[in-house]
Amino acid sequence: MTAYEPRAAELRELLNRYGREYYVLDAPTVPDAEYDRLFRELQALEEAHPELAGADSPTRRVGGAPLAEFDSVTHAVPMLSLSNAFSDMQLADPAERHAELIQFDERVRKGLDAAEVEYATEPKFDGLAISLLYENGVLTRAATRGDGVAGEQVTENVRTIRAIPLRLDGANPPALLEVRGEVLMLKRDFERLNADQVARGDKTFANPRNAAAGSLRQLDSRITAQRRLSFFAYAIAQVEGADWPDSHAGEMVWLKQLGFPVVEESLRPVVKGVAGLSAYYEGVQARRAGLPFEIDGVVYKVNRRVLQDALGFVSRAPRWAIAHKFPAEEALTV
Ligand SMILES: Cc1ccc2cc(C(N)=O)cc(O)c2n1
């Protein structure tokens, strides 16, 4: 323990706390200039005393030397994409949409022999799905979805995303936790990136999803570090050494406590039956244009995990979760 360790530990704790306030709580208590000042002090300390830099140090977010290629990672639990059991035909016709919601709810209730089912609901982010592995509370590996069975190891790039904790909050982290979520670029950061691209004479990105994918799959993580990527957690794939919440809603509360950004709707009460699903779909569709991120629909999930397990999966998509897409947004008239 050198004489500098206490100050280095204090700086790491302050910077991780300020980062969480900014990205998870959306309620910063210090100005960016204060964050940057402390960040530079820690960087100088770690450069002078390399033994001080730990895996969870915020300075580990600035990216290292470029990789020659990405290693492949096999997912212990396959990363499934959601089936969209709603036909495109229903997109424009509310009556058709309602009829297909009834079919979906009936199929679930039949599968569970249940009179009424509770659903968790959330917007369907239009970004890039990733898997985050935490061992004893520290981020040890991040991977893209790939084909669902194997993806690319993008840990160094993911470390540069300030919204993703390098260390879980709380005194007793689980021995192992795998979190799934979406890396995305907020609309305002996308506009800013494209303006910078034009100013540099570089090509612009077609949409925030492509910008997020292009930024995350960079072999040079210093480029990723310059891009403003965000993240929202939406599922837990593995837990060891802690109680696994018994519902999706419970998982979202726990993930937020651990330090992950979770979309506010995932913390709202669950809905019941077709009426609840339909009201949610309409509500989000009405708010879609005003959301800070792009979405391409909503997600309904059977809330209780024991019921999810009972329904299982059909082919490679869960029977207990489904995407409900919106009509494509009218092409913006320029
Ligand atoms: C299980 C699962 C798989 C893919 C998902 C994808 C999204 C999404 N794109 O927002 C949200 C979810 O809750 C998901 N949940």
Q: Which of 77, 119, 121, 124 to mutate to test the pocket of ligand 1 (most atoms within 8 A of CB)?
A: 124
The whole-angstrom separation of Cα 165 and Cα 42 is 18
At residue 327, the pLDDT reads: 78
> Do residues 98 and 104 lie in contact, with contact meaning Cβ atoms separated by under 8 Å?
no
Query: What's the DSSP call for residue 175?
Result: S
Which atom number of ligand 1 is nearest to the Cα of residue 80?
Answer: 3
- Burial of 56: CB neighbours in 10 Å, binned 0-12, 13-18, 19+: middle
Collapsed DSSP state (helix, strand, coil) of residue 33: helix
Ligand 1 centroid to 323 CA: how many Å? 8
The whole-angstrom separation of Cα 6 and Cα 12 is 10
At residue 293, the pLDDT reads: 95
- Collect all residues with Cβ–Cβ distance below 8 Å to 132 and sequence separation of at least 6: 139, 141, 142, 158, 164, 178, 179, 180, 181
Angle 111-115-116 (CA atoms, 0-180°, nearest 5)? 90
- Residue in 185, 231, 216, 225 with CA at minimum distance from that of residue 22: 231
Ligand 1 centroid to 143 CA: how many Å? 15
Collapsed DSSP state (helix, strand, coil) of residue 225: helix
- Burial of 53: CB neighbours in 10 Å, binned 0-12, 13-18, 19+: middle
The tens place of each residue's pLDDT in the chain, 334 residues long, gives 678 899 998 999 899 888 888 877 778 899 988 988 999 999 999 999 988 887 788 888 877 788 999 999 999 999 988 877 666 645 668 888 889 899 999 999 999 999 999 999 999 999 999 999 999 999 999 999 999 999 999 999 999 998 999 999 999 999 999 999 999 999 999 999 999 999 999 999 999 999 999 999 999 999 998 899 999 999 999 999 999 999 999 999 999 999 999 998 777 779 999 999 999 999 999 999 999 999 999 999 999 999 999 988 766 678 888 889 887 766 554 4
At residue 175, the pLDDT reads: 98
- Collect all residues with Cβ–Cβ distance below 8 Å to 190 and sequence separation of at least 6: 205, 207, 208, 211
Collapsed DSSP state (helix, strand, coil) of residue 277: helix
Crossing angle of helices 94-112/273-287, nearest 10°? 140
Model's pTM, two decimal places? 0.88
How would you label 281-305 residue by residue, b for 16+ Cβ within 10 Å and e otherwise? beebeeebeeeebbbbbbbbbbbbb
Question: Is the C-beta atom of 20 inside 6 A of ligand 1?
Answer: no
Question: Is the C-beta atom of 321 inside 6 A of ligand 1?
Answer: yes
The whole-angstrom separation of Cα 162 and Cα 164 is 5
The whole-angstrom separation of Cα 55 and Cα 183 is 21
At residue 92, the pLDDT reads: 65
Q: Which residues have a catalytic role annotated?
A: 124
Ligand 1 centroid to 294 CA: how many Å? 14
Question: Is the C-beta atom of 178 inside 6 A of ligand 1?
Answer: no
Cα 231 off chain centre by = 4
Ligand 1 centroid to 187 CA: how many Å? 20
> Do residues 53 and 192 lie in contact, with contact meaning Cβ atoms separated by under 8 Å?
no
Looking at ligand 1, which residue's alpha carbon is closest to its atom 4? Answer: 81
List the beta strands (DSSP E) in the chain: 72-74, 118-125, 128-135, 138-144, 150-152, 176-184, 230-240, 271-272, 295-302, 313-314, 317-318, 321-325
- φ/ψ (deg, to 5) at 311: -80, -35
Question: Is the C-beta atom of 183 inside 6 A of ligand 1?
Answer: no
Name the CA dihedral angle for 120, 124, 129, 130, rounded to a multiple of 10 degrees: -40
Question: Is the C-beta atom of 299 inside 6 A of ligand 1?
Answer: yes
Question: Is the C-beta atom of 234 inside 6 A of ligand 1?
Answer: yes
Question: Is the C-beta atom of 252 inside 6 A of ligand 1?
Answer: no
